[in-house]
């Protein structure tokens, strides 16, 4: 019973499990379980429904292969788009959430989305400016290096990879633009 408080039926009764597995049911007595008040079903919750009304799916949404339908309420603010959307749809359609491939594809889709957004910004009147937007200029003016080496900052372990993560999408976007311009020149 996804998205409801109902529990699925047990494949074996508690008595069968206690007879088969030594020690099973040690917390069977509700008085021994600290979570019993949360498990009570007779308390007034204040909700006027058992399950929220299903939000209409106006555009196809990605969904986990573990669940037969969407959650009753879901976000629509950032619809899937471009190559990153194709990668995300494939991650949800092909792999369970329990597989590393599912999450690695979603991480890759995030990086592809970043490159797509940087490329899209080049087509606007105000493209991304990595020098001012990343705060790299403050490194020299605001004691950035000293603040990174002194004290007990918790983010010192990933500072070596930060320039790659911040500048990487811009470098990839610039390389993509150069490749695109060269391809266009060859056709002309």
* 103-117, 118-132, 147-161: segment of lowest average pLDDT: 147-161
In a domain, 7, yes or no: no
Q: Over the chain, what is the mean pLDDT? A: 85
In a domain, 115, yes or no: yes
The token pair at 3 is 């998205």
Better-scored residue on pLDDT, 13 or 44 = 13
In a domain, 141, yes or no: no
**Nearest Cα to Cα of residue 129 among 166, 163, 162, 176:** 166
- CA–CA distances in Å: residue 77 to residues 45, 80, 164, 180: 29, 10, 29, 31
Say how many residues make up the chain.
Answer: 188
Name the pLDDT band for 2 (thresholds 50, 70, 90).
Answer: low
How high is the pLDDT of residue 133?
Answer: 81
Number of domains in the chain: 1
How high is the pLDDT of residue 37?
Answer: 67
Angstrom distance (rounded) from CA 124 to CA 122: 6
Name the pLDDT band for 40 (thresholds 50, 70, 90).
Answer: confident
Q: What domain range is 101 assigned to? A: 61-66+78-125
Hey, how many other C-beta atoms are within 10 angstroms of the C-beta on 54? 13
What secondary structure does DSSP assign to 45-80, as a single string? ---S-SSPPPPP-SS-----TTSSS--SS---SS--
How high is the pLDDT of residue 100?
Answer: 95
DSSP 156: G
In a domain, 82, yes or no: yes
- CA–CA distances in Å: residue 141 to residues 15, 146, 161, 162, 173: 71, 11, 22, 19, 28
Better-scored residue on pLDDT, 149 or 25 = 25
The token pair at 77 is 């603010």
In a domain, 103, yes or no: yes
In a domain, 109, yes or no: yes
């Amino acid at each position: 019973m996804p998205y409801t408080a109902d529990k699925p039926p047990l494949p074996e009764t508690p008595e069968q499990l206690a007879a088969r597995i030594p020690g099973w049911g040690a917390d069977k007595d509700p008085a021994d379980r600290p979570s019993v008040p949360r498990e009570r079903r007779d308390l007034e919750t204040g909700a006027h429904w058992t399950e929220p009304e299903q939000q209409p799916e106006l555009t196809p949404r990605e969904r986990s292969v573990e669940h037969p339908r969407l959650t009753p309420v879901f976000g629509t603010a950032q619809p899937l788009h471009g190559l990153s959307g194709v990668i995300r749809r494939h991650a949800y359609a092909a792999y369970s959430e329990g597989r590393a491939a599912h999450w690695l594809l979603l991480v890759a889709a995030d990086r592809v989305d970043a490159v797509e957004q940087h490329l899209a910004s080049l087509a606007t009147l105000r493209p991304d400016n990595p020098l001012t937007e990343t705060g790299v200029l403050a490194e020299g003016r605001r004691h950035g290096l000293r603040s990174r080496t002194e004290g007990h900052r918790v983010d010192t372990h990933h500072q070596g990879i930060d320039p790659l993560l911040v500048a990487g999408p811009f470098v990839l976007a610039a390389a993509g633009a150069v490749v695109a311009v060269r391809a266009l020149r060859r056709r002309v």
